Amino acid sequence: MTAPGLGLWSHPELRAALAAEDWGGVLRTYRKLSGLSQTKASELVGLVQPDVSDIERGRRRVTSSEVRQRILTGLGAPPHVTGPERRPVAGLALPGPGPDDDLLARITGAADATHKVDAPTLDRLDRLLAEHRSAEDLIGSRPLVGLMRQQLASVVGLFAGARGPLADRVIRLASEHAQFLAWMAQDQGQTAAALTWYDRSHDWALEAGDADMAATTLSMKAHMAWSGGRGDRAVRLAEAARRSAPDASPGVRGMAAQMAARGHALNGAGDDAHRLLDEARRLIDRASERPEDEPAWMYFYGDTWFTLQRGMIAMHLRDWTGAADHLRTGLAGLSDSYRRDRTWYGCCLAHAYAQSGEPAEALSVSLPLVPDAATIGRPHSWNELHTTAAAMIRSGAKEGHRLVEALRQHD
């Protein structure tokens, strides 16, 4: 019996487990990608099935170089496989100029406790944050992190000179900056940093009396739990968002309902997922009637985004054809300015095609996305393309190997 193929070893999860010498993770991830049972895997590596089970569960450590080599040889690891590399983002720059001289003078002057912060300064910072959110949709998060940290420091520095309602505005603005930094950390797979920033944002939102942001941070924590495959936690956090802010805007409440639906879908609870999706749909319709009442960070939340979420939930429920239909429709309505999201949802569409037995379509969608997945789409889009390739290889489709080769050229 031979291993399914070398292409699986380009998958980031498998390479990460190997780099960490997590042999239980190596076996577990390889089996997930290849579809092998523990019994078949044990035959490949020359161990009995209970030993493989104990290694995967962490009950037995692999300390013998002989056993390590048997695992690598039995699973067909190529000699050149190493751990994942961090790849710099090439050639990305912020569009347009930075803050104007007048705003810089206002910030530096207002940061002195002898000066008072004025509303025009905060208005300009609100607009600047909105511009940075739009830039992040286009160029990804990596080029923006340093800039946004500096900008948050400037906002915090304004608090000493703020009085009355303006002090609340400064805290609210700091909360929005912290939430944006949390999202960017999450986008880069930096879970601990993201949780820290979400906690800071949540605290500031409560201090400023901003129910919309307080609920949003809980919803985004639910999104993180969903990304990590923790459906129960995603549901709990999303329900906490729903309970904590009953007076939040319809869009914010709709996001919380949709996040709860994601968690239920991840758990395979289709009825609960669709019930909450219907509720989220009604809230979206209400939000669209009065968009001026929605907070600035909900600019993306609308019919197109909701259609894409239906596609994601269909994927969890293994309705691959339905997922492809929703994702294809959503992508058709998604502006080119959402370059990062177009990459992510395009990779998910390719995955849905691969799982529904359409490898040619999966490859056709995947190949143009590889360059963006390798830059603005790491780690999420990048990993999704590797998962797509693994699904095609597992089914015996030659297109999977072609996708692996394209990914190697950008690794």
145-157 and 165-187 helices, crossing angle to 10°:
160
Q: What percent of the chain has pLDDT over 90?
A: 58
Q: Is the pTM of this model over 0.85?
A: no
Burial class (CB in 10 A: 0-12, 13-18, 19+), 22: middle
Sign of CA dihedral 342, 347, 348, 354: positive
Taking the chain, what is the end-to-end CA distance rounded to the nearest angstrom? Answer: 30
- On whether the CB atoms of residues 107 and 158 are closer than 8 A, the answer is yes
pLDDT at 13: 82
Query: Does 1.10.260.40 match the CATH number of domain 6-74?
Result: yes
Q: 91: pLDDT confidence band, cut at 50, 70 and 90?
A: very low
CA distance 360 to 159: 57
| Least confident among 79-83, 127-131, 153-157, 345-349 | 79-83
Q: Is the pLDDT of residue 236 over 70?
A: yes
The DSSP letter of residue 186 is: H
Q: How many CB atoms lie within 10 A of CB 320?
A: 18
Domain extents in the chain = 6-74, 99-209, 229-301, 311-411
> CB under 8 Å to 316, separation ≥6 — which residues?
262, 265, 266, 268, 273
Q: Is the pLDDT of residue 101 over 60?
A: no
Residue 35 backbone phi and psi in degrees, to 5 = 80, 15
Q: Is the pLDDT of residue 326 over 60?
A: yes
| Least confident among 72-86, 122-136, 183-197, 299-313 | 72-86
Decide which of 9 and 119 is more confident: 119
Q: CA 358 → CA 34, 363, 375, distances in Å?
A: 18, 9, 27
pLDDT at 62: 83
Cα 19–Cα 20–Cα 25 angle in degrees, nearest 5: 100
pLDDT at 14: 83
Q: Is the pLDDT of residue 298 over 70?
A: yes
Q: 115: pLDDT confidence band, cut at 50, 70 and 90?
A: low
pLDDT at 332: 94
pLDDT at 303: 87
pLDDT at 355: 96
pLDDT at 290: 86
Section 22-43 average pLDDT = 87
Section 160-175 average pLDDT = 90
Section 213-239 average pLDDT = 95
Mean pLDDT over all residues of the chain? 87
Query: Of 81, 160, 96, nearest to 127 (Cα)?
Result: 96
Q: Is the pLDDT of residue 356 over 60?
A: yes
Section 67-79 average pLDDT = 82
State pLDDT tens for residues 256-297.
Answer: 999 999 999 999 999 999 999 999 999 988 998 888 899 999
Tokens describing residue 36? 């092998």
pLDDT at 103: 56
CA 104 vs. chain centroid, Å, equals 33
Q: Is the pLDDT of residue 317 over 50?
A: yes
Query: Of 311, 290, 291, nearest to 300 (Cα)?
Result: 291
